[in-house]
């Protein structure tokens, strides 16, 4: 499995619109992740669901890291001197990145090794925790 780059729904002339289009994609993928985790809990693991796990792993491993770099290296430096309120928001978003990465580490180990997913309740909880913090970050 490999990361398949998908062009954004917009061109790159409006950086905020590009980031917003990625946020929309991340939210949709989060819904897909929860559907997958619930299917695994209800029906167990099979080859198709294992392949979906690997697809999720490949996507999130690259996309999350690159998206956070976009925000931290391109967007936040432009906004940082706007006001104390904006500075506080940026600090919160940076903390989100750390929390997302910690939650991702738990989920990634399972997605990357679907054969290790034998506690379906735990896997669903990891997926719900990751999706929740990711969604909250994306909608701040």
CB 63 within 8 A of CB 3: yes
Distance between CA atoms of residues 28 and 131, nearest Å: 10
Contacts of residue 75, defined as CB under 8 A and 6 or more positions apart, other chains included, come to 15, 16, 19
Q: What confidence score (pLDDT) does residue 66 get?
A: 84
Structure tokens at 72: 């931290």
Confidence (pLDDT) at 11: 60
- pLDDT at residue 60, as a whole number: 93
Decide: 12 and 22 in contact? Cβ < 8 Å.
Answer: no
Residues of the chain with pLDDT under 70: 1-13, 15
Cβ atoms < 10 Å from Cβ of 53: 25
SS3 124: helix
Write down the pLDDT at residue 3: 53
pLDDT of residue 18: 77
- pTM (predicted TM-score): 0.84
Residue-wise pLDDT for 55-66, tens only, equals 999 999 988 888
What CATH number was assigned to the domain covering residues 15-138? Answer: 1.20.120.520
The predicted pLDDT at position 17 comes to: 80
Sequence ranges of the domains in the chain: 15-138
pLDDT of residue 13: 66
């Amino acid at each position: 499995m490999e990361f398949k780059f998908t062009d954004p729904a917009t061109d790159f002339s409006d950086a905020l619109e590009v980031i917003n289009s990625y946020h929309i994609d991340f939210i949709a993928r989060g819904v897909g992740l929860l559907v997958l985790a619930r299917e695994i809990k209800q029906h167990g693991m099979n080859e198709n669901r294992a392949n979906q796990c690997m697809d999720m792993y490949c996507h999130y491993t690259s996309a999350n890291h690159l998206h956070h770099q976009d925000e931290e290296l391109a967007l936040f430096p432009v906004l940082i001197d706007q006001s104390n309120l904006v500075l506080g928001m940026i600090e919160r978003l940076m903390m989100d990145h750390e929390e997302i990465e910690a939650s991702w580490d738990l989920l990634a180990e399972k997605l990357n090794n679907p054969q290790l997913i034998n506690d379906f309740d735990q896997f669903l909880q990891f997926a719900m925790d990751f999706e929740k913090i990711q969604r909250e970050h994306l909608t701040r």
